[in-house]
């Protein structure tokens, strides 16, 4: 290992996920992640990394470790209940053409 | 921005053991159906390793790529040029951040990648081991180096690995100004005084061949191309991309009334392509192996920056550790 290795911290700063509201009226949308020592630094880094071209009017950050995600391997069984319920869509219902405004 | 056939560097991926064969076949079927692979999906170990190597090298290239251009920030000829150059160099830093994040989703830590760069174990695009001797070099880098990088990167926007593809979409969007500002610098110099014209020609003379080599070795010698194309990490071969770049760049040089430093360059009427003379690959190999003009200087600059930032990282960590205690006291 080089001399550069000696002073390096053993671990990274915590990882944060970044969400940006691109303009008022729209939802915050996930744009990526970054490392920061704390939440405030995460906001400031998010501004520099993800909004250099006025991409946002509001930023949310949260620790990636706090996200609870569904398991892709279980996606089939998790989403199975919706699979046979086509009657939840308007196109399921046959309405005579003469009937308007439905 | 700065890829250079990154899949052509490093070790061969290990072959999948027999037990994984079925899973690998299912994986390949997903790839063939143009499905995107996401971080928590199952993937062959060799796919993961190939991406870690390629994305981290790409990220390192962005970070090291800040150095040659950063060299001219204090000496940019006008305030406008200086503001533009700062914005461009800052973009490169941002692109490095997007890419490190994408690589981290594959299970390597940021600290590991930084360590690989600083120890010299990791590769980065060898184009950044050339010096920026004059202001015209800043123009030539934007025009040629960013031009070649964009040519390489646009197909990666459709890469099978979701996080890499998404980072690339963002990068390509931001990058389009980089090449244009470079061409604008070349145009201004080419239409300027005799001395400025000479400076522009000199920059083209020095950057042309290294830019051509950014696409990596010829297809026949590119050991990872076939597998990377099967995995849809790569969409076009090195030679295909190189030819595209030559075909669009030669007319731009003609517009500038500058001469491409290749006496054998000719228009192939039948094929409708420009044909270049032979490439000196021994130079490429020398730079790749650490013997370019600036290899040591670039790594030392990164190490010095890392050392100089040490106290800032420590202070930030100490501050962060104090925060919960303070908040506890207030309530």
Say which range, B7-11, B14-18, B139-143, has the weakest mean pLDDT.
Answer: B7-11
The residues in B 1-60 lying below 8 A from A, measured between CB atoms, are 38, 40-42
Domains of chain A (ranges, CATH numbers): 8-68 (3.10.20.520)
Instruction: Determine the residue of chain B that is closest to A13 in CA distance.
Output: B317
* CA B113 – CA B283 distance, rounded (Å): 27
CA B234 to chain centre: 14
- Is A13 within 8 Å of B316 when comparing Cβ atoms? yes
Residues in chain A: 102
Q: If pLDDT is split at 50, 70 and 90, which confidence band does B21 have?
A: confident
pLDDT digits (tens, 9 = 90+) for B234-264: 999 999 999 999 999 999 999 999 999 999 9
Joined tokens for residue B12: 């061969």
Average predicted confidence (pLDDT) for chain B: 92
Q: Yes or no: say if A5 and A25 are a contact pair by the CB < 8 Å rule.
A: no
CB nearest B313 (choices: A5, A9, A53):
A9
Instruction: Determine the residue of chain A that is closest to B108 in CA distance.
Output: A12
pTM of the model: 0.89
pLDDT digits (tens, 9 = 90+) for B284-298: 899 988 889 999 999
**How many beta carbons lie within 10 A of that of residue B257, not counting itself?**
11
- Is A72 within 8 Å of B41 when comparing Cβ atoms? yes
Q: If pLDDT is split at 50, 70 and 90, which confidence band does B161 have?
A: very high
- Listed in sequence order, the residues at least 6 apart from B71 whose beta carbon sits closer than 8 Å to its beta carbon are B132
pLDDT tens digit at each of 102 positions of chain A: 344 444 444 578 999 999 999 999 999 999 999 999 999 999 999 999 999 999 999 999 999 999 999 998 899 999 999 999 999 999 999 999 999 998
On chain A, the residues whose CB falls within 8 A of the CB of B115 are 1, 4-5, 8
- Is B98 within 8 Å of A52 when comparing Cβ atoms? no
- Is B119 within 8 Å of A2 when comparing Cβ atoms? yes
The pLDDT value given to residue B240: 96
DSSP state of A21: E
Q: Which of B163, B168, B296, B317 to mutate to test the interface with A (most CBs of A within 10 A)?
A: B317
Q: Yes or no: say if B302 and B64 are a contact pair by the CB < 8 Å rule.
A: yes
- Is A8 within 8 Å of B167 when comparing Cβ atoms? no
Q: Yes or no: say if B258 and B202 are a contact pair by the CB < 8 Å rule.
A: no
- Is A4 within 8 Å of B94 when comparing Cβ atoms? no
The pLDDT value given to residue B239: 96
On chain A, the residues whose CB falls within 8 A of the CB of B106 are none
Judged by a CB distance cut-off of 8 A, whether residue B317 touches chain A is: yes
- Is A34 within 8 Å of B97 when comparing Cβ atoms? yes
């Amino acid at each position: 290992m080089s001399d550069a290795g000696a002073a390096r911290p053993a671990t990274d700063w915590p990882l944060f996920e970044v969400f940006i509201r691109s303009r008022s009226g729209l939802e915050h949308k996930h744009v990526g992640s970054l490392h920061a020592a704390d939440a405030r630094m995460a906001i400031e880094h998010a501004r520099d990394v993800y909004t250099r071209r006025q991409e946002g009017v509001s930023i949310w950050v949260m620790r990636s470790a706090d996200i609870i995600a569904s398991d892709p391997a279980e996606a089939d069984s998790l989403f199975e209940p919706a699979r046979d319920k086509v009657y939840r869509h308007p196109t399921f219902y046959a309405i005579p053409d003469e009937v308007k405004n439905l | 921005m700065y890829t250079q056939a990154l899949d052509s560097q490093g070790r061969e991926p290990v072959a999948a053991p027999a037990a994984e064969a079925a899973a690998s076949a299912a994986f390949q079927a997903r790839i063939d159906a143009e499905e995107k692979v996401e971080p928590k999906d199952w993937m062959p170990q060799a796919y993961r390793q190939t991406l870690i190597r390629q994305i981290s090298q790409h990220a390192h290239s962005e970070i090291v790529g800040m150095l040659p251009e950063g060299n001219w920030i204090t000496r940019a000829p006008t305030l406008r040029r200086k503001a533009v150059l700062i914005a461009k160099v800052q973009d490169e830093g941002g692109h490095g951040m997007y890419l490190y994040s994408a690589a981290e989703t594959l299970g390597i830590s940021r600290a590991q990648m930084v360590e690989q760069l600083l120890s010299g174990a990791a590769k980065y695009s060898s184009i950044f081991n050339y010096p920026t001797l004059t202001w015209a070099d800043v123009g030539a880098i934007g025009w040629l180096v960013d031009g070649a990088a964009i040519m390489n990167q646009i197909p990666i926007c459709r890469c099978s690995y979701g996080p890499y593809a998404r980072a690339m979409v963002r990068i390509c969007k931001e990058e389009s100004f980089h090449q244009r500002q470079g061409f604008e610098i070349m145009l201004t110099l080419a239409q300027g005084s005799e001395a400025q014209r000479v400076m522009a020609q000199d920059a083209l003379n020095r950057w042309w061949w290294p830019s051509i080599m950014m696409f990596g070795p010829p297809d026949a010698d590119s050991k990872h191309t076939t597998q990377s194309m099967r995995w849809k990490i790569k969409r076009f071969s090195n030679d295909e991309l190189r030819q595209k770049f030559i075909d669009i760049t030669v007319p731009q040089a003609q517009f500038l009334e500058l001469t491409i430093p290749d006496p054998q360059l000719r228009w192939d009427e039948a094929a409708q392509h420009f044909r270049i003379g032979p490439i000196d690959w021994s130079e490429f190999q020398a730079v790749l192996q650490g013997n370019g003009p600036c290899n040591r200087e670039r790594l030392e600059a990164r190490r010095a920056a890392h050392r100089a930032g040490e106290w800032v990282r420590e202070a930030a960590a100490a501050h962060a550790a104090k925060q919960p205690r303070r908040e506890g006291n207030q309530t």
